[in-house]
Amino acid sequence: MNNAVYFTYLEEARWAFFRHLQDRSRDHGLTSSDRVPKQPGTILAHAECDFRSEAKYGDVLDVLVKVSAVGRSSFSYEYEVVEKLTSRLIATAKSVQVSYDVVAKRPIPIPDALRIELEDTLQ
């Protein structure tokens, strides 16, 4: 598998995780204005991937993602890409996302609802 594909897998995992955070904030009974926003308003600032073993045609891969740090305007994820049948570690990765105002073109503080959900997953 081409190494660039892994970054697409990481992106898909980030979006799935973000949707999970949105669902959690809805399940907490928050009003719509206090929930995790529908659009994350974040940009990818950094991504790295370490390849641990090869993935072969036909392998089914799982991408596990967890929050590893939450700052004022940025937060980090750590990932493990594993082969589903054997749990063989294929790759590890990290990324940093920045809460961003696209109009002003500058970082902004993480919205409170998103911060709460991100910090809650740090446990």
Number of domains the chain contains: 1
Q: What is the pLDDT of residues 17-41, one digit of tens each?
A: 988 887 776 655 555 555 555 555 8
Mark the ranges of the chain whose per-residue pLDDT is less than 70: 25-40, 123
What is the predicted pLDDT for the residue at 17? 92
CATH number of the domain where residue 78 is located: 3.10.129.10
What is the predicted pLDDT for the residue at 38? 57
Q: What are phi and psi of 86, to 5 degrees?
A: -105, -10
What is the predicted pLDDT for the residue at 35? 52
